[in-house]
Structure 1
Amino acid sequence: MDILFVRELKVQTRIGIYDWEREVPQTVLIDLEIAADAARAAASDRVNATINYQTVCDRIVEYLEATETQLVETVAETLARMVREDFGASWVRVSVHKPAAVRGTRDVGVRIERGTLQTVS
């Protein structure tokens, strides 16, 4: 199985369980791993033969900048569903990091996997 990945997509969004947290946008970092057939894309050398990670990132930024949530778990679940449904990925791993959310930590967050990894022949 081939995996496309995005590391530390930085997005400003309103997130938090407290009202004061959602008063101004905060930075969240998104990591993605997406199952894709890299061999098919490489054979054609065409971006339309794969999942275009620029398009995925643009969609995520657009969504998160327009949304307010309380939990990183909600963000992760929504993004996993988006990547699978809107971009046709059979499997995705999403990590959502909230930097400096807890004193004494670099970041906190959640990592989820959804779907099934399928072997490409």
Structure 2
Amino acid sequence: MTDKVFIHELTAFASIGAYEWEHTIKQKLIFNIEMDWDFSQAVETENLQYCLNYAEISQKVLDFVESQPFKLVETVAYKVADLLQQQYGIKALRIELHKPKAVAQASSVGVIVERHFH
């Protein structure tokens, strides 16, 4: 059995883009994050210390993404995956990162990163 903690539609406003003009504006990025986490001990004890704090994780992702410029959504997704694994010891995760309205004919484009750490 695999338990998951998820954060859907976490919205950041970041300096992102391959073109110089894109770094003069903030663009919307939307994250859907799923993290494997065994919360059976939290259930047994009703103790928050055994949970992933999704409010804290959300803020860490926003602070990281909004604090520096990026050229590629791929880079953002990889670095966020690394950040979450390193800070929280998450064994597996899936990040779906959307860049809305980047292509006129599509509501959103983006990448999906799946990681399994040992």
Q: Structure 1 length as normaliser, TM-score? A: 0.92
The one-letter code matched in structure 2 to 1:96 is L
Q: Is the 8 A contact 2:5 2:34 kept in 1?
A: yes
Cα distance in 2 between the residues matched to 1:22 and 1:52: 32
Cα distance in 1 between the residues matched to 2:111 and 2:18: 15
Listed one character per residue, the Cα deviations across residues 64-88 of structure 1 (whole Å, up to 9, x for unaligned) are: 1101101110000001011111111
SS at match of 1:64: helix
Unmatched tracts of structure 1, length 5 or more: none
Matched, 1:87 2:88: yes
Identity %, equivalent residues: 30
- Give 1:116 deviation, angstroms: 4.8
The one-letter code matched in structure 2 to 1:87 is Y
**Counterpart in 1 of 2:37?**
36
Cα distance in 2 between the residues matched to 1:16 and 1:84: 25
The count of aligned residue pairs is 117
Cα distance in 1 between the residues matched to 2:26 and 2:49: 34
Q: Is the 8 A contact 2:93 2:115 kept in 1?
A: yes
- Give 1:6 deviation, angstroms: 0.6
SS at match of 1:5: strand
Matched, 1:52 2:53: yes
Moved over 4 A (4+): none
Cα distance in 2 between the residues matched to 1:43 and 1:49: 10
Cα distance in 1 between the residues matched to 2:73 and 2:81: 12
Q: Structure 2 length as normaliser, TM-score? A: 0.94
- Give 1:38 deviation, angstroms: 2.1
Listed one character per residue, the Cα deviations across residues 30-88 of structure 1 (whole Å, up to 9, x for unaligned) are: 11000101221112222210211111101011111101101110000001011111111
Listed one character per residue, the Cα deviations across residues 1-54 of structure 1 (whole Å, up to 9, x for unaligned) are: 101001010001000000111111111001100010122111222221021111
Unmatched tracts of structure 2, length 5 or more: none
SS at match of 1:51: coil
CA RMSD across the alignment: 1.2
**Counterpart in 2 of 1:10?**
11
